[in-house]
Structure 1
Amino acid sequence: MKIVVAKVSEFPPGDRRIVQVGKRSIGVFRIGERFYALNNYCPHQGGPLCLGRTAPTTSSSRPGEYTVNEDVFVACPWHGWEYDVTTGQSYLGPGETPVRSYGVSVAPGEALGGDVKFPDRVPGPYVAETFEVHVEDDYVVVDTTARQAVR
């Protein structure tokens, strides 16, 4: 199933959104021009992982020089366990359970087909007059189909 999160134009870099679909809660992060999605459930003790603070990484090519990269870690607000937003990998040690990550894409509105869910819409037996619509904006879409876990 694919879930529409927001228009790209309404989702600024550095922002995050939490979407609820049934019992599933997913955190969607925009880092620069890329989007990432994680299960909003910390494997440690079930905390709301995606509500935690984010932090950048640093890299160095030689002593005395370093570069600060964009925020790619999220720390669970309950106990501070950290995970890579881009992969779901835990950084507490080898063998620690990663958090589930989801594929995210940007799709033009006219490309959104029948396998897409808009979380804020309530289904029902409603009938209304329809009109032709032209969509001009791009949308952030999370794909919740099963993916291979990162180890």
Structure 2
Amino acid sequence: MMKLRYLLCITLMSISGEALAYHCEISSTPLTFGSIEGVAGKERQTTATLTVVCRNGDTSANVEYKIIIDSQNINSEHEMTSGSHSNFFNTYKTASYQEIWGNSAPNIVSDSYSIAANDTVSRTYTVYAKMKTGRDAPPGIYIANMIARLLY
């Protein structure tokens, strides 16, 4: 039996526009498909979480942000590589694996809410990932670096 090991690293970026009364940060858990016995035709799914923490100053504010998951190509696929071999997966907003979470509208997650003065609000979002079933790459450790951007 062949074994594949998939490890995905998520790079996190917070990008703020004008000076705001609040400050937000993003963090993540690892997204890993683990070890897979056999390869062809077997569907593999996994999840990770992104957590956004926003802190406010001396006045209340309306918090608004977008979470973008960058991908290397136009169909929002992410490529995992091991040497010269590749496998692909997509990231999704829901467990139904119907709505891709990517880097262009409408594939971006947006949120907004009010935050009281001197308060901290934490929100967690699940990233659902599904590997393509038609993969035929040999066993190995496949790694993908992803970037999750928080724009506020």
Q: What is the TM-score of this pair, normalised by structure 1?
A: 0.25
- Larger % of helix: which? 1
Q: What is the TM-score of this pair, normalised by structure 2?
A: 0.25
